[in-house]
A and B are shown apart, each in its own frame.
Chain A
Amino acid sequence: MEKAEVSLKAVVTGLMQALREAKLLGDMESARLIKTYRKSMPSFSVPAFAISEVEVELRFAVAESQELRRRGGAQPGDIKIKISPETLKGLEPHQISQLRIKFSPVELRVFEKPEEG
């Protein structure tokens, strides 16, 4: 069943996981080609791509359920939203929020112990 309200946190997390898994799909394809390249095209480098930037525009309506009112409003980072197209279609433009998110890869940091003295 389609849920009327979903967590914004879950949606953003889902987007990040999807991008990570998409990158993984690409990396797996590159890894699969390594053997072929070593055998047939040793001087060529195996193709591999990075996802440099992903821009997502999310349209949603903040849900005002009885549960949220009872708790005194939505908690930061745990906002319940409505995202189904049917729901958004029936709303006034001012009731629809728009969120733009840019995802970029971050290099893993290596922390080194500072030299003493």
Chain B
Amino acid sequence: MEENELKSLWKMPTPDKKTNEEIIYMLEEKHHPVLKEIRTQITIEIVGFSAFLLCYFSAFDGATKPFYINLILIFSILASLIHNLYGYRLSNRPVDGSDILNSLKNGIRKTKIYGFRSIINRLIFTSGLMLFFSYNIKFTPSKFYLLAGAIIAITLIQIILLNKIWKKRVQKLKEVLVGFE
């Protein structure tokens, strides 16, 4: 295929004309296809965790546990919510740089940091919940080791899976970056 033909074929008209109403619809954040899904997920989490925080004190014996244990639980839940809200903000801004290469480099850096924070956050969240629910419970040594082993194994699996997901996302962006070099 000759160069002129490449260009003339490329310039052939496409049918997908949008109406003004369709374009106006697309400008609203609430209609954004990906953000809408993330927002729904965050709303469910906020409602669920708020309900838990409102009733845990009486329903799960928060009153009988030391103040710092309650504080750790609240902190671990709030940290998780704040982290997810930051993730929403991050997904809302895929363009961050004066050109494509710069934007990609910034994207890789931010995705790496966000991935690392996600893992730390999961550790804080799991530890906070475990500490709260296991406090005041007297275990026999065998049950203690069994439970501790199970918790460590589940947490490790979660961290490995999370790490894999974020590594894959970063790797994908890095591959595009290499393509420009």
Same complex for A and B? Answer: no
- Which residues does A use to contact B, with CB under 8 Å? none
